[in-house]
């Protein structure tokens, strides 16, 4: 099947493309390359032996979408394109609503026009209200969005649920990602954000590689065991595998599936730094700084539904995530 992957040259999208190829599917990439390196298609070719068709442009561009759907026999769409930094969404909410909400509306409109109704959507753990007990469980949890970014994902979930309620042809998987880190074990693709990294693991890697002098830990006065925020870090290759399982599920089920993709294991900021240092042998100088706007203290996934419904189980350890992230960083930054 030809699968359109929006944001397919990005961090998560590129790992999804690699796994689509490994499963005999053909990824078709739509990406504006605003947060992706131009050599990703070549790297995917080196990794998979298959050079993906790439359309460069914005997912809100209706004419481009029309062209893509007319040119390629698309069987399903995986929508990962979007803005994703919690802190940035607090300072520039307009950017987030425009990209994430308008982008989804343009995409689903084009899909319906071209008779494509199968969609795997990159949602987020940040759709859950922080008032929910941990682990966050699908079903009757309170959904509120913990930041403007989280609310764009929640609004997108509502849009997709409303579309499916109005037209029974829709088959939608809302995959609520926890914190994807790590890289493909080949070291060819990974998280290489443009500019200063917003996320913890790419920042750790750049400090370990000597690109930046030190890491700032955003707050150590949270109500957690060591005072730093706890997250559920999942290997990006495990996460990508979840998308293939979601596509298989949707081949047999109409309607909307909401499901967490995480490991169920909370790890603190200091815990991740220590594991990285131990697993890679690289020093990571850090200092404690103030809290970051929009962060919440601790959350992790309930993983039972993913296992029961999709047969999904995250396989990689946090050590593995650190080693794979570092292998990619060394290749990218020529580390020590």
- N-to-C CA span, the chain: 42
Q: Does 203 bind ligand UFG (CB under 6 A)?
A: yes
96 is annotated as an active-site residue:
no
Out of 15, 79, 84, 243, point to the residue binding ligand UFG (CB under 6 A). 84
- Candidate list 178, 249, 326, 328; residue touching ligand UFG; CB under 6 A: 178
User: Which of 2, 45, 199, 320 touches ligand UFG by CB under 6 A?
Assistant: 199
Q: Which of residues 41-70 bind ligand UFG (CB under 6 A)?
A: none
C-alpha angle with apex 37: 36 to 39, nearest 5 degrees? 135
Q: Which residues of 198-235 are buried (b: 16+ CB within 10 A; e: fewer)?
A: ebbbbbbbbbbbebbeebebbbbebebeebbbbbbbbb
Output the smallest distance, CB 244 to ligand UFG, in A. Answer: 21
Of positions 125, 164, 303, 318, contacts ligand UFG by CB under 6 A: 125
Q: Of 163-171, 195-203, 234-242, 313-321, which part binds ligand UFG (CB under 6 A)?
A: 195-203
Q: Residue 86, interface with ligand UFG (CB under 6 A)?
A: yes
User: Under the criterion CB under 6 A, does residue 151 sit at the interface with ligand UFG?
Assistant: no
Rounded to whole angstroms, the Cα distance separating 101 from 116 reads 19
Q: Which is nearer to ligand UFG, 57 or 193 (CB)?
A: 193
278-281, Cβ contacts within 8 angstroms, sequence gap of 24 or more: 278/319, 279/319, 279/322, 279/323, 279/326, 280/208, 280/322, 280/323, 280/326
H helix intervals, the chain: 11-22, 40-48, 62-71, 86-91, 93-96, 103-113, 148-166, 200-208, 236-252, 269-280, 304-305, 318-333
| Binding residues among 250-309 for ligand UFG as defined by CB under 6 A | 269, 292, 295
Q: What are the phi and psi torsion angles at 267 (to 5°)?
A: -135, 135
Following CA atoms 268, 270, 273, 275 in sequence, which dihedral angle do they give, to the nearest 10 degrees?
-70
Cis peptide before 135 (omega within 30 of 0): yes
Q: Which of 14, 19, 126, 282 forms a contact with ligand UFG (CB under 6 A)?
A: 126
CB of 115 to ligand UFG, least distance (A): 31
From 25-33, 47-55, 177-185, 301-309, give the range in contact with ligand UFG by CB under 6 A.
177-185
129 binds ligand UFG (CB under 6 A): no
What does residue 74 show for φ and ψ, rounded to 5 degrees?
-85, 125
- Listed ranges 32-40, 55-63, 132-140, 193-201: which one lies at the site for ligand UFG (CB under 6 A): 193-201
What does 118-144 look like in DSSP terms, one character per residue?
Answer: EEEEEEEGGGB-TTSPSSB-SSS--B-
CB of 126 to ligand UFG, least distance (A): 4
Q: Which residue has the tokens 């969404």?
A: 89
Q: Check residue 26 for interaction with ligand UFG (CB under 6 A).
A: no
Q: Which of 21, 40, 78, 229 binds ligand UFG (CB under 6 A)?
A: 229
Check if the beta carbon of residue 112 is closer than 8 Å to that of residue 40.
no
With CB under 6 A as the contact rule, the residue among 97, 218, 276, 300 that binds ligand UFG is 218
Instruction: Determine which one of 97, 128, 136, 149 is catalytic.
Output: 149
Beta carbon nearer to ligand UFG, 179 or 237: 179
Residue 216 makes contact with ligand UFG by CB under 6 A: yes
For the sheet containing 255-261, what is the strand order?
53-56, 26-31, 2-6, 74-79, 118-124, 171-177, 255-261
Nearest distance from C-beta of residue 12 to ligand UFG, angstroms: 10
Binding site for ligand UFG (CB under 6 A): 84-86, 124-126, 177-179, 198-200, 203, 215-218, 229, 231, 269, 292, 295
Question: Which residues are annotated as catalytic?
Answer: 149
């Amino acid at each position: 099947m030809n699968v359109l992957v929006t944001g397919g040259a990005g961090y998560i999208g590129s790992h999804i493309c690699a796994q689509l190829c490994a499963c005999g599917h053909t990824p078709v990439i739509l990406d504006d390359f605003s947060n992706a390196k131009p050599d990703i298609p070549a790297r995917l070719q080196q990794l998979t032996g298959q050079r993906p068709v790439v359309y460069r442009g914005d997912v809100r561009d209706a004419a481009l979408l029309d062209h893509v759907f007319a040119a390629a026999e698309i069987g399903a769409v995986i929508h990962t394109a979007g803005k994703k930094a919690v802190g940035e969404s607090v300072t520039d909410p307009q950017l987030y609503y425009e990209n994430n909400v308008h982008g989804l509306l343009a995409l689903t409109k084009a899909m319906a026009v071209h008779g494509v109704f199968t969609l795997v959507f990159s949602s987020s753990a940040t759709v859950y209200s922080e008032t929910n007990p941990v682990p966050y469980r699908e079903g009757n949890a309170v959904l509120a969005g913990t930041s403007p970014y989280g609310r764009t994902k929640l609004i997108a979930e509502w849009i997709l649920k409303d579309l499916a309620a109005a037209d029974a042809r829709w088959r939608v998987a809302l995959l609520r990602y926890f914190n994807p880190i790590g890289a493909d074990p080949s070291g060819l693709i990974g998280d290489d954000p443009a500019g200063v990294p917003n996320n913890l693991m790419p920042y750790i890697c750049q400090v370990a590689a000597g690109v930046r002098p030190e890491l700032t830990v955003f707050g150590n006065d949270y109500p957690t065991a060591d005072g730093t925020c706890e997250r559920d870090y999942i290997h990006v290759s495990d996460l990508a595998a979840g998308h293939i399982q979601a596509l298989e599920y949707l081949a047999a089920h109409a309607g909307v599936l909401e499901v967490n993709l995480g490991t169920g294991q909370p790890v603190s900021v200091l815990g991740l730094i220590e594991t990285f240092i131990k697993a890679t042998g690289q020093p990571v100088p850090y200092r404690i700084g103030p809290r970051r706007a929009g962060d919440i203290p601790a959350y992790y996934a309930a993983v039972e539904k993913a296992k029961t419904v999709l047969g999904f189980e995250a396989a990689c350890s946090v050590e593995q995530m650190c080693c794979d992230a570092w292998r990619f960083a060394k290749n990218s930054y020529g580390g020590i």
